[in-house]
Every structure is written in C-alpha cells, then in structure tokens.
A and B are shown apart, each in its own frame.
Chain A
C-alpha cells in the first residue's frame, strides 16, 4: 500500500470537553464537528494515533467514535487499511432530502390547526435570532445551527424527537454539502429566512396545501449551484457529475412529488 508521501493529518479543531461527556462521546463529538464543517475534508485519511494524541486520550474511545461515525456513513473503513472521511454521496443526499420532505411535511400537516402556545413562542424567538444572525458574515456555524433548531422545534412539538435524530443522521451528506455552499458564499439566506417565515405563517393559519412542494423548494434551493461545487471540488464527491444535466438526472426522483 502506498503510504509514503501522504500529508500528515490536519490539526483538528478541538472544542472544550463538556461536563457530562465521557472519552468516547467527546471523541465522537469533536470528530463529527470537524467532518461536518469540512475541516476534515471528504476523502481525508484518519489516523487513530494522531487523533488520540490531539484529544489526549487513548485509542479505544477514538476507535469507538470512528465506529459510530461509520454507522452514519461519515467514515469509510477499508479492510486491513485506514479509515477515511467518506466522500459526499449524491444518492445519500437525495435520500436524505426525500426523507426530510416526506416526514417534515407530514409533521407540519399534523401541527397545522393543532398548535400550542409554547411552539408559537419558540418559533417566533427562533425567527428573531435568525433575523439577527443570518445576514452577518462569519456566522456559518450559527446560521446552520439556527436553521436546524427551527426545524427541530416542529419535530419536538409533534413528539417526534427520535425521528428527528435519525432523519438528521441520514442527512449528514446533505448537511455537508449545505456547509460547502455556505462556505462558498452561495447560500441565499434571505430566501431561507423568507421560507421559514412562510412556514410559520402556514402553521399559524393552518395552510397545509402544497407542503411537500414547499419543502422541496426549501431543501434544495441551492441546487443550481451544485455543478459549480462539484466542478470546484471534484475530489470531494463520490461520483463527480459534470454539468447541470447530470445533476438533474440524479435529483429527478425528487421532482416527481
């Protein structure tokens, strides 16, 4: 196997350990954050020893964290060989978007006309925070976090917290691409924010018609920039689609709704 000439692993961005975290949970959280923010880029080799050293821990928790990330399709392990950060897979992206569209539109449909004061208040508060932070530069983390949080509130109000967790995991490739789009300055936060406002109004008034189409627009609004992304970062993608037509073909099933 060719290992010579491979650059050393990138320094991880290490955040402080939280109080209730054990070694393995800590390693998992730090690695996941580094992968999701593309600091560890798709295709990058993961060196267990180097990671353990950076986290000042033993190898067992690192191995357990890698194992968990593998279950979420974020790490690939080749037999008798190293682990790598998985390449972005457009089929996973498609299925993640499809799952969210199906599940979230049904959840919101059930919430329409079935609101409680707590949900209204928390959605409104979330929208205020979004107005404050979506449009200022250098807030990639904050804007994705606020976006996620806004949607999570609907799952929570419908008592579908477990579904949220697993749907979010299926969307890990979708979320990495979203991050890339934001990094490239191509995310239209104005339109995302306007759509969140629309969702809020839909919930208040009980306007449940066309929810699936709404989510379709909302989730892949940046689809037209994808050829640009795959052109600029071909090495990040499992199959590098060239041009708009290839993209259309891959995402076609999504348009059938």
Chain B
C-alpha cells in the first residue's frame, strides 16, 4: 500500500461506531487541509486506510456533503470542496452574531468548572505555541475554548449547528496555522483578554473583543492567498 494519506489524531475509541470514526478522521483531515480543497476522495482507498468497509466511509461522505465540505459529482466520484468566499462570510456572520450571546450569558455568572476549564485550556494554548509545540494543536484548542463557552451558556446544540455553518470560514482560518506562530500569538492574547473580561464581568468589553477576534481572516497576506489560489473557488 502507498504512503498513508490520513492523519489519525486519536485512535478509535471503543464506543465509536465505524461511521462516526470515519466521519471524525475525514473531517479532521479536511479541516486541517491535509485533504486539500479540490482533492479527489477515493472511497476504496480511504476504507482500506481506515481498515473499515466502504459503507461507513460513504455515510461519512454523505454527512460531509451536508456540511459543504465534500462535493459529490454526478458520475459518483467526490472531492473536497474548494473554499467559497460567500460561505466564508456566512460563517463569519454566524459566529459574529452568536458568539457575543454565548459570552454574555457566561459573563453573567461563570461557574468554577467553566473557569477552571478555560484556564487549563489557555495554559495548553501557551504550551502549543512554545518551541516544540504543535500549531495544529493550538488550532484544536482554539475551537475547544469557544466550545467550552457555548456549553457553559447552555448552547451546545447551537455550537454544533454553527460548526456546520463555519466549515469554509474555519478552513480559511487554518491559513494562520500554515503561516506560523507569529500569526497565532495575537489569537492567544485575545483569548486571554476575553477570559479576563468574562472573569471581571466586563460585559461592555465583549462585543469589540469578539468581533476583532473573529476577523483575523480579513488580513491574511494576499501573497499567501495567491500561493494557495488552487484552494479557492473564485481565484
């Protein structure tokens, strides 16, 4: 067999069904651009690599198609979708609208468990940006940071829904990981500021902090976008 294509972050858990496993690994590889926008998905190869049959792979692909991450072509082959700027902006709109609500609910009264969870998460983010750390790990922790806030606000299903709306936005944000730690340090700093504002119950500071935090993709370097132009639908 040829070189493995997929990165498997976490080994398969006992409770995880074949299709849940296939979905998790494929989605993760698409989001980290390992399966790059536009690349063809070969069901046979993927199922061989994951060591499962083709049915769960097909189920995962159906689900990824629902989330606009995969396009299934009329002649039955499928490929990872190119990044579409209209969807990027819809994703940004969803986050920019919903995040402040979750933050303001948490700001009203953050429980000890949430505070401890966020603090531990921030410490891990710092570690990920140190020498020898993993920038990809930072990206994962970034998502987790916001998920903790949504959960604490009683908005877990809303987080799931928003994650399905932001599939193109999130992939564009991953360009910061490709660009290196200098673009991620400000992100860490903003997470720390957000946490401090929540802790101080400084609700007035939240909207500005969140808007700026979510807008990083707007100042990606044009040269970089040019370098990856094959990843985009309209470039």
Residues on A lying within 8 angstroms of B by beta carbon are 24, 64, 67-68, 71, 73, 91-92, 94-96, 98-99, 102-103, 106, 159-163, 166-167, 169-170, 253
Contacts and interface: CB of A to CB of B under 8 A. Distances in A.
Contacts of A169: 161
Contacts of B66: 68, 71
B97 A166 contact: no
A103 B86 contact: no
Contact of A67 (B59, B90, B105, B157): B59
Given A98-B155, A170-B161, A163 B93 contact: yes
Given A71-B63, A159-B86, 14 more contacts: A64-B59, A67-B59, A67-B63, A68-B66, A73-B157, A95-B155, A106-B93, A159-B90, A160-B93, A161-B90, A162-B90, A167-B161, A170-B158, A253-B105
- Among A64, A95, A98, A166, which residue has the most Cβ atoms of chain B within 10 A? A166
Interface residues of B, number: 24
Contacts of B68: 162
A71 B66 CA distance: 10
A99 B161 contact: yes
- Among B19, B58, B86, B161, which residue has the most Cβ atoms of chain A within 10 A? B161
A92 B157 CA distance: 7
Nearest to A168: B161
A182 B83 CA distance: 42
Secondary structure class of chain B's binding surface, majority of residues:
helix
Contact of A68 (B62, B86, B87, B154): B62
Contact of B94 (A24, A159, A163): A163
B90 A160 contact: yes
19 contacts: A67-B59, A67-B62, A68-B63, A68-B66, A71-B63, A91-B154, A91-B157, A95-B154, A95-B157, A98-B158, A99-B98, A102-B97, A102-B98, A159-B86, A160-B90, A162-B68, A166-B161, A169-B161, A170-B161
Contacts of B115: none
A170 B63 CA distance: 15
B188 interface: no
Contact of A106 (B63, B87, B97): B97
B59 A253 contact: no
A99 B158 contact: yes
Contacts of A106: 93, 97
Interface string B147-168: 0000000111110010011000
A253 B98 contact: no
A155 to B, nearest CB: 10
Contacts of B214: none
Nearest to A94: B154
Contacts of A162: 68, 87, 90, 165
B83 to A, nearest CB: 14
B101 interface: yes
Contacts of B101: 98, 102
Contacts of B93: 106, 160, 163
B104 to A, nearest CB: 9
A163 B95 CA distance: 11
Contacts of B90: 159-163
Interface in B5-41: 19
A6 B164 CA distance: 37
